[in-house]
Amino acid sequence: MASSYWVQARREQERRRREAERAARALQREQLRREREQARQRAAEEKERKQLYLESRLADTEQANRELARYVETLEGLLAQTLAVDDAIDFESLKDKPAQLRFKPGALAQPGQPPELAPPAPLSALQKLVPGAKAKHAAATAAAEQQHAEAMVVYEQTERDRETRLAAARAAHDERARVEAERVAAQHAQVDAFRTSYEHGEPEAVVNYSSMVLAASRYPDGFPQQHKVAFVPESRQLVVELDLPTFEVVPDALEYRYVRARDEITPKARPIGQRKALYTRVVSQMALRTVHELFESDRAGHFDSVVFNGHVDTIDPRTGQPVRPCLVTLRSTRDAFAALDLARVEPEACLKGLNAAVSKSPAELSPVRPVLEFDMVDPRFIEETDVLSTIDQRPNLMELTPSEFETLITNLFEKMGLETRLTQASRDGGVDCVAYDPRPIFGGKVVIQAKRYKHTVGVSAVRDLFGTMQNEGASKGILVTTSGYGKASFEFADGKPLELLSGSNLLYLLEEHAGIEAKIEPPEDWADPATASIE
């Protein structure tokens, strides 16, 4: 019996041990299963995170490419963008609108509530029988009436103070409204005066109006917004100097790519030839765009021709010095420009057709010679004479003798480096001379004619100069006048080796090269030669 007990106990012990081992193994298996499940979940989450990150980086790359494409499209469409815009200035839009000054009195507009009389309640019949009740009631009534009277005094004083402050606030508001109305009226009067001056063709107003047109022209960020405008009324010519963007305005990236191994969005370089070609198109479009905006906005028809000079302010990489080369220059008449279909032209070919000079390599800052230097348009020549003109000591070119005028012109061109030979006196009282430019390659024989005119020089004088130049076998002809030229003269000279210098140009050249400050004021009895053809 005893042996059976110990055998059974041993078996029970072994059974519990095996169950414990099985339980431990089951727990271990469950633990391993949970760990594997967690690992799979972490791997799935990491994979999803990596996928989301990859998609985010690819989206960033796509967005960068879209922005790059939009920007390049903007550069390619600089000219087209302005064609749908009315560039004329609406003078009424320049007028300020009066500020809406509403009177807001706030609590001052709300009168106070007058105090109410609160007498004691009437005595009942039973209360009246109480000795002294009537006297007490009468005293209480009198006290209530006294308190009410005192409260009314305070109320009436408070109301008077409120009404005084309300009147002062209204007066202050009315004064602000009056000042604002006067300011707006004065500003409107300035706009009306500006419009009147512009409609009358006053030079300063024409310049300011044209400057406003150019200032309103919208270009991409990073483009300079600087320009200078001058108006030569005797030639009905507007001269514009516009700052162009540098070569860096053209993106150096052709597209962007995401490099997964380095986790970088890297640009693919745009071929340098493409960058240079796009920069040339940008410069060409800006020239055409500016001339278009000026002609379109000039509804009053104050000028017949526009001279455009496009310069770029930058650093010459060869010297490290600041430079300002002219990259494109042109002169166009209104009629010639109106014949263009700017929506369909190829900008560079269009400029070539207009006989414009465009840099052969704008990216390398290769300059061209401006059709007309902006500084040669002397503002003193176009301003009205002031009251101090009587003490002006500058020589008046219109009062010189013919021989003095001849000497002045020949000396001027000698100072400019030409070897002049004066010829016979001109039939129209001007100067005719033959000069020689000693520079190799660019030099040669030059025919110079100078005419002291009060009115616009006719196109016949320009034709005569061209004929003389051909007869003399000269390489260039220069016509100088104390007045100006009309569009027919510029149209005839366009594309020919002729240079037309107006009175303002002459004043500039005299001061710049000969150190002579002169003026041009024709006497009231001045008569141009009968041979002059007025345009």
Of residues 149 and 440, more confidence is placed in 149
pLDDT confidence bin for 393, thresholds 50/70/90: low
Which three-class secondary structure string do you get for 471-494? HHCCCEEEEEECCCECHHHHHHHC
Residue 280 pLDDT > 90, yes or no? yes
**Can you give the pTM of this predicted structure?**
0.70
Mean pLDDT, to the nearest integer, of 520-530?
Answer: 80
Mean pLDDT, to the nearest integer, of 295-303?
Answer: 95
The closest alpha carbon to 330, from 306, 362, 365, 298, belongs to 306
Which of 51-65, 410-424, 439-453 shows the highest mean pLDDT?
Answer: 51-65
Neighbours of 521 (CB within 10 A): 17
Residue 522 pLDDT > 50, yes or no? yes
The closest alpha carbon to 372, from 465, 475, 493, belongs to 493
For residue 357 the two structure tokens come to: 């000079």
Coil, strand, or helix at residue 84?
coil
For residue 188 the two structure tokens come to: 């409107």
- Residue-wise pLDDT for 120-138, tens only, equals 888 888 887 888 888 888 8
pLDDT confidence bin for 380, thresholds 50/70/90: very low
Residue 390 pLDDT > 50, yes or no? no
Residue 392 pLDDT > 90, yes or no? no
Distance separating alpha carbons of residues 288 and 337, to the nearest angstrom: 9
pLDDT confidence bin for 295, thresholds 50/70/90: very high
* Host H or E run for residue 180: helix 133-199
Distance separating alpha carbons of residues 351 and 292, to the nearest angstrom: 13
pLDDT reported for residue 389: 36
Mean pLDDT, to the nearest integer, of 190-212?
Answer: 94
Distance separating alpha carbons of residues 424 and 431, to the nearest angstrom: 8
Farthest-apart Cα atoms in the chain, separation? 164
Residue type, 413: F
- Residue-wise pLDDT for 442-482, tens only, equals 678 888 888 888 888 888 889 988 988 888 888 889 999 88
Give the rounded distance of the alpha carbon of 197 from its chain centre: 23
pLDDT reported for residue 397: 87
* Host H or E run for residue 297: helix 272-297
pLDDT reported for residue 423: 64
Distance separating alpha carbons of residues 501 and 507, to the nearest angstrom: 10
Distance separating alpha carbons of residues 98 and 15, to the nearest angstrom: 102
For residue 404 the two structure tokens come to: 């003095």
pLDDT reported for residue 386: 36
Residue 255 pLDDT > 90, yes or no? yes
- Residue-wise pLDDT for 20-45, tens only, equals 888 888 888 888 888 888 878 887 77
The β-bridge partners of 485 are 457
pLDDT confidence bin for 431, thresholds 50/70/90: low
Average pLDDT, the chain: 86
Q: What percent of the chain has pLDDT over 70?
A: 93
Non-local CB neighbours of 298 within 8 Å, separated by 6+ positions: 210, 238
Say if residues 431 and 410 touch (Cβ distance below 8 Å): yes
pLDDT reported for residue 523: 85
Distance separating alpha carbons of residues 182 and 132, to the nearest angstrom: 75
pLDDT reported for residue 531: 54
pLDDT reported for residue 426: 55
pLDDT confidence bin for 291, thresholds 50/70/90: very high
pLDDT reported for residue 384: 33
Coil, strand, or helix at residue 430?
coil
pLDDT confidence bin for 356, thresholds 50/70/90: very high
For residue 129 the two structure tokens come to: 């029988």
- Residue-wise pLDDT for 60-98, tens only, equals 999 999 999 999 999 999 999 999 899 999 999 999 988
Say which range, 35-49, 223-237, 426-440, 495-509, has the weakest mean pLDDT: 426-440
pLDDT reported for residue 48: 81
pLDDT reported for residue 532: 53
Residue 200 pLDDT > 90, yes or no? yes
* Host H or E run for residue 470: helix 459-472
Residue 382 pLDDT > 80, yes or no? no
Neighbours of 514 (CB within 10 A): 16
Give the rounded distance of the alpha carbon of 226 from its chain centre: 7
The DSSP secondary structure of 87-156, one letter per residue, reads -S--GGGGSPPPP------GGGGSPPPPPPP-PPPPPPHHHHTSTTHHHHHHHHHHHHHHHHHHHHHHHH
pLDDT reported for residue 385: 33
The β-bridge partners of 240 are 229, 308
Say if residues 487 and 516 touch (Cβ distance below 8 Å): no
pLDDT confidence bin for 290, thresholds 50/70/90: very high
Say which range, 201-205, 303-307, 400-404, 424-428, has the weakest mean pLDDT: 424-428
Residue 6 pLDDT > 80, yes or no? no
Residue 405 pLDDT > 90, yes or no? no
pLDDT reported for residue 212: 93
Mean pLDDT, to the nearest integer, of 420-427?
Answer: 61
- Half-sphere exposure of residue 87: CA atoms within 13 angstroms, side-chain side: 24
Say if residues 328 and 357 touch (Cβ distance below 8 Å): yes
CA-CA distances (angstroms) from residue 319 to 109, 360, 367?
A: 75, 20, 16
Mean pLDDT, to the nearest integer, of 186-203?
Answer: 94
pLDDT reported for residue 334: 93
pLDDT reported for residue 439: 75
Give the angle 434-436-441 at the CA atoms, nearest 5°: 140
pLDDT reported for residue 289: 97
Of residues 46 and 364, more confidence is placed in 364
Residue 388 pLDDT > 60, yes or no? no
pLDDT reported for residue 118: 86
Tell me whether residue 116 is exposed, middle or buried, using C-beta atoms within 10 angstroms of its C-beta: 0 to 12, 13 to 18, 19 or more: exposed
Residue type, 147: Q
pLDDT reported for residue 25: 85
Neighbours of 164 (CB within 10 A): 11
